Structure 1
Amino acid sequence: MNPASTQADVLAEVAWVLIGGGTLVFAATMAVLAMAVRRRTGPVSTRRWIVGAGLVVPGVVLVALGAYSTWRTAGLDAPAPPGALVVGVTGRSWWWQVQYTDPTTGRPVATANELRLPAGRPVHLGLASDDVIHSFWVPALGGKMDLVPGRVNRLVITPHTPGTYRGACAEFCGEQHARMGLHVVVLPPADFDRWLAGQAQAAAPAVSALAERGQRLFSKRACAQCHTVRGTFDGGTAGPDLTHVASRLHLGAGTLANGPGAMATWVAHVQRLKPGARMPSNAHLPPADLDALGAYLEALR
Structure 2
Amino acid sequence: MMEALLGWPPAVLDPMGPYSSPVRTVAWALFGMGALITALVVAALALAWKGPPRWRARLGGEKAIMLLGVALPTVVLTGLLVWGLTLTARLDRPAADGAMRVRVIGEMWWFRVQYLDGDGRLLAEDANELRIPVGRPVALELESADVIHSFWVPQLSGKKDMVPGRTNRLTIQADRPGQFGGVCAEYCGRSHALMGMVVIAQHQPSFERWLAARIAPARRSAPGGEGFTQFVAAGCAACHAIDGTSAKGRAGPNLTNVATRRTLGAGIMPNNRGTLTGWVGDSQSIKPGNRMPSYDRLEPAQLKAITAYLETLK
TM-score past 0.5 threshold: yes
1:6 to 7, 14, 18: 18
On the 8 A contact 1:84/1:123 being kept in 2, the answer is yes
Residue 262 of structure 2 corresponds to 249
Aligned length in residues: 297
By how many angstroms is 1:86 displaced?
0.3
Rounded to whole Å, the distance in 2 between the matches of 1:80 and 1:20 is: 31
Measured against aligned partners, the alpha-carbon deviations of 1:210-267 in whole angstroms (never above 9, x if no partner) come to x932122112223212211111234211111100001111112123310133222211
Q: Within 5 Å, which residues of 2 pair with 1:169-248? A: 169-206=184-221, 212-248=225-261
On the 8 A contact 1:123/1:156 being kept in 2, the answer is yes
Q: What secondary structure, in the 3-state scheme, does the structure 2 residue paired with 1:295 have?
A: helix
Rounded to whole Å, the distance in 1 between the matches of 2:188 and 2:46 is: 48
Measured against aligned partners, the alpha-carbon deviations of 1:53-89 in whole angstroms (never above 9, x if no partner) come to 2333333333332332233223221111111000011
Rounded to whole Å, the distance in 2 between the matches of 1:203 and 1:265 is: 26
Residue 281 of structure 1 corresponds to 294
Residue 39 of structure 2 corresponds to 27
Residue 147 of structure 1 corresponds to 162
Check 1:278–1:31 CA distance in 2 against 1; reply closer, same or farther (3 A cut): closer
Rounded to whole Å, the distance in 2 between the matches of 1:7 and 1:282 is: 43
By how many angstroms is 1:41 displaced?
4.7
TM-score w.r.t. length of structure 2: 0.85
By how many angstroms is 1:156 displaced?
1.4
My pick for the range that moved more, 26-35 or 130-139, is 26-35
Q: Which amino acid aligns with 1:278?
A: R
Check 1:37–1:80 CA distance in 2 against 1; reply closer, same or farther (3 A cut): same
Residue 132 of structure 1 corresponds to 147
**1:295 and 2:287 are equivalent in the alignment:** no
On the 8 A contact 2:113/2:126 being kept in 1, the answer is yes
> Gaps (5+ residues) in structure 2?
1-12
On the 8 A contact 1:85/1:124 being kept in 2, the answer is yes
> Gaps (5+ residues) in structure 1?
none
Specify which structure has the bigger relative contact order, considering alpha-carbon pairs within 8 angstroms and separated by 6 or more residues: 2
**1:15 and 2:27 are equivalent in the alignment:** yes
On the 8 A contact 1:203/1:300 being kept in 2, the answer is no
**1:64 and 2:79 are equivalent in the alignment:** yes
Q: Percent identity?
A: 45
By how many angstroms is 1:39 displaced?
4.2
CA RMSD, Structure 1 to Structure 2 (Å) = 2.5
Rounded to whole Å, the distance in 1 between the matches of 2:47 and 2:235 is: 76
Rounded to whole Å, the distance in 2 between the matches of 1:261 and 1:96 is: 23
Rounded to whole Å, the distance in 1 between the matches of 2:292 and 2:48 is: 65
On the 8 A contact 1:110/1:241 being kept in 2, the answer is yes
Q: What secondary structure, in the 3-state scheme, does the structure 1 residue paired with 2:89 have?
A: coil
Rounded to whole Å, the distance in 2 between the matches of 1:286 and 1:102 is: 43
By how many angstroms is 1:206 displaced?
4.2
Residue 3 of structure 2 corresponds to none
Rounded to whole Å, the distance in 2 between the matches of 1:161 and 1:110 is: 24
Rounded to whole Å, the distance in 2 between the matches of 1:239 and 1:117 is: 23
Residue 126 of structure 2 corresponds to 111
Rounded to whole Å, the distance in 2 between the matches of 1:69 and 1:102 is: 33
Q: What secondary structure, in the 3-state scheme, does the structure 1 residue paired with 2:113 have?
A: strand
